Amino acid sequence: MTNVTEDYIDASGGDWDEVIAKAQSSGAERLVVNMGPQHPSTHGVLRLILTLDGETCTEARVGIGYLHTGIEKNMEFRTWTQGTTFVTRMDYLTPIFNEVAYCLAVERLLDITDRIPERANVIRVLMMELNRMSSHFVAMATFGMELGATTVMTSGFREREMVLDIFELITGLRMNHAYIRPGGVAQDLPDGAVEKIRELLKEMPKRITQMRKLLDASPLYLARTRDVAHLDLAGCMALGVTGPMLRASGLAWDLRKAKPYCGYENYEFDIPVSDGGDVYARYRVRMAELEQSLRIVEQCLDRLRPGPIMVDDAKIGWPARLELGGDGLGNSPEHIAHIMGGSMEALIHHFKLVTEGFRVPAGQAYAAVESAKGELGCHAVSDGGTRPYRVHFRDPSFNHLQSVAAMCEGGTVADVIAAVASIDPVMGGVDR
Amino acid sequence: MSLNGNGGQGHDVERREEEADLPARAGEERLNAPVARTGMFGAKTTGDTSGYGRLLVRKTPRASSKRPFTDPDDPRTASFDGVADALERALGRDGAPGTRAVERVVVDRGEITFHVRREHLREVARMLRDDPDLRFELCTGVSGVHYPDDTGRELHAVYHLRSLTHNNEIRVETACPDADPHIPSVVSVYPANDWHEREAWDFFGIVFDGHPSLTRIEMPDDWHGHPQRKDYPLGGIPVEYRGATIPPPDERRSYQ
């Protein structure tokens, strides 16, 4: 519906010819316009309702919910283990973080946090840091694309592909892995994984330097990002902003250091901080985090010792050992031979654990991880059954999108794009 | 009065461990607890031929912990007594609602939960944020939980607070009855809770009084009902096979 009053033109919907006719006949300067939900620069289906006065954005409102899939509700009808296949699809650029946050909450409910084997924890950290890199590369790539720097886009996605190749080798899938499971990880690192990660460690610093050369001091990039979408520390704290955005406002807050999980206290790394508070500072923080992630991945490889990858509790850890066969990933042939030909009890145990799942003592737990985007929290409630009673995710992007108004109002339309890109929102996680 | 919980119906987590050598008494208490559900496979409409039809699953007792909250053997609980003391001091000041505002405290699995009466939620939140010994600057949103069996307190709102200054984590929980689903909004204290409260309204129907614009956020504006409530009717899949239809997931036979 086109609605023209004396002081603004509503272009948020309706017949375009009418909107233009009204705009031409009216003297109003104010224009209400929809950016998205289908817009290449809104990272999926984000709808921005902007009130424009000429080039200036005087009001920015955010509409979400276009990608709501009811993941939290769905999980209430699946076993605790099956939950990982849902959470991995929330923020699809940080699947490993979603899985780890969920599994840490379940493990806390089961009170087995201290019994997770060392190797499983090292693999989790390794996968999380690789995932942080792939997520940051997409953040940089899409940002470049939105500012018209397609070279950044292609090289960002190329670098990410190196990480995804490793994910594919280890988990079988490029995305949506369901690799981290309550109690450990789904399967051990396959042959050749460590070598492939070492290759990445050798190659990646060069690629990061290349990207830095493209962006760090490019006058065009600086003009679009410096002093744009400024959010100072007080604003970040009021809006509950965490992650690279908070660190770009000068506070060295990182859950990996503050509340270490999965053994992060054993790794040496720095928290990159910048006090710019603008889009450029957020870019610099993400770039520096890439380098820190490489450091952690290297330490993970040194810490890898042979050992179990699943908690030593037959009631929780799946009895099957997955193995890659000629026809893809599946139960290992030895395990099949054991349950089908050797032991009736093992077959019953396998059947019960896979179909019924394990029971989780009643209670609630909250586990938070430092995802690539900020604090990703999982609140899990159990009523003592084999399925979650309630699982809630505090997705950082959901929280951070609230800051769009604070960052954009008073700036130009072009800066809205930069502001949203610097939040790095993923609507799958926002809407869940 | 101190933050010691309601005593009467509560069970001290730590004392329960001491009394573990009294299984007969514990068993008797358990047998007197109300029944949460019967059977094992969720079959309610047809005859349960599984043999588990008469199985009774009893409700877990409402937990309440007693001092000390800090367990010297559990480093995760190290700060709990300090936080409870500071909150008690703040609540006891002139003009403050007093320690009655906190109904009970639960320490479980290395996490502390303050059950706050809903009428005092906003004052307690402000204290938790502003008191120099508490300084819970970050509220990571609100998570609604629906307990249809918890008569008179069916809807729970769970807040996780984090102090960056003291590096502490606590949980604040408040409840309201289904018949009067009102909880004060804490947006004036934690502006970041704006969207989180809208989400809890959208999915659970909790009305946050004082919220600047409590509208649906994930579901379409004209949607009816609140989908994450336990009593929300789930659609079945309209698949028919020789006359039989597939029931909605909460009516299917499945392990529980």
**Quick one: pLDDT band at residue B143, thresholds 50, 70, 90?**
very high
Instruction: Write out pLDDT tens, residues A79-133.
Output: 899 999 999 999 899 999 999 999 999 999 998 998 899 999 999 999 999 999 9
Residues A260 and A369: their CA atoms lie apart, in Å, by 9
Instruction: Write out pLDDT tens, residues A295-315.
Output: 999 999 999 989 888 888 888
Helix (H) or strand (E) holding A62: strand A56-63
The percentage of chain B sitting over the pLDDT mark of 70, rounded to a whole number, equals 78
Mean pLDDT across B141-157: 89
Residue A152 has pLDDT above 60, yes or no: yes
Strand segments (E) across chain B: 35-38, 56-58, 102-108, 111-116, 138-146, 155-163, 168-176, 182-184, 207-209, 237-241, 244-246
- A252 vs B: CB within 8 A: no
Say how many C-beta atoms besides its own lie within 10 A of residue A158's C-beta.
12
The percentage of chain B sitting over the pLDDT mark of 90, rounded to a whole number, equals 31
List the one residue out of B64, B220, B227, B65 whose CA is nearest residue B144.
Answer: B227
Both tokens of A389, joined, read 């009673």
| Angle in degrees, 0-180, between the axes of helices A118-146 and A95-110, rounded to the nearest 10 | 150
Instruction: Write out pLDDT tens, residues B191-202.
Output: 999 999 999 999
Q: Are A426 and A92 in contact (CB under 8 A)?
A: yes
Looking at the partner chain, which of B137, B145, B192 has a beta carbon nearest the beta carbon of A381?
Answer: B145
- Backbone φ and ψ for B102, nearest 5 degrees, come out as -100, 115
Name every chain B residue with its beta carbon within 8 A of the beta carbon of A398: 195, 199
Compute chain A's Rg from CA coordinates.
24
- B28 vs A: CB within 8 A: no
Residue A207 has pLDDT above 70, yes or no: yes
Largest CA distance in chain B: 72
**Quick one: pLDDT band at residue B9, thresholds 50, 70, 90?**
very low
- Which of the 8 DSSP states describes residue B218? S
Residue B5 has pLDDT above 60, yes or no: no
Name every chain B residue with its beta carbon within 8 A of the beta carbon of A377: 140-141, 160
- Backbone φ and ψ for A370, nearest 5 degrees, come out as -85, 95
Name every chain A residue with its beta carbon within 8 A of the beta carbon of B110: 108
A43 or A18, greater pLDDT: A18
What rounded mean pLDDT belongs to chain A? 87
Name every chain A residue with its beta carbon within 8 A of the beta carbon of B250: 77
Looking at residue B247, what is its pLDDT? 73
Number of cross-chain residue pairs from A and B with Cβ atoms under 8 Å apart: 109
Name every chain A residue with its beta carbon within 8 A of the beta carbon of B160: 366, 368, 377, 379, 394
Residue A362 has pLDDT above 70, yes or no: yes
**Quick one: pLDDT band at residue B6, thresholds 50, 70, 90?**
very low
Cis preceding-peptide flag for A95 (omega within 30 of 0): no
Phi/psi class of residue A196: alpha, beta or left (left: φ > 0; alpha: ψ in -120 to 50)?
Answer: alpha
Which A positions 118-147 lie with beta carbon below 8 A of chain B? none
Residues B129 and B137: their CA atoms lie apart, in Å, by 5
Residues A117 and A120: their CA atoms lie apart, in Å, by 5
Residues A146 and A150: their CA atoms lie apart, in Å, by 8
Name every chain B residue with its beta carbon within 8 A of the beta carbon of A370: none
Compute chain B's Rg from CA coordinates.
21
Looking at the partner chain, which of A251, A258, A366 has a beta carbon nearest the beta carbon of B171?
Answer: A366
List CB contacts of B27: < 8 A, sequence separation 6 or more: none
Looking at residue A313, what is its pLDDT? 84
* Residue-level length of chain A: 432
Report ipTM for this prediction. 0.85
- B133 vs A: CB within 8 A: no
Looking at the partner chain, which of B36, B140, B164 has a beta carbon nearest the beta carbon of A377?
Answer: B140
Looking at residue B49, what is its pLDDT? 63
Looking at the partner chain, which of A111, A357, A390 has a beta carbon nearest the beta carbon of B109?
Answer: A111
A393 by DSSP, 3-state: which? strand
List the one residue out of B98, B29, B87, B110 whose CA is nearest residue B62.
Answer: B29
**Quick one: pLDDT band at residue A2, thresholds 50, 70, 90?**
very low
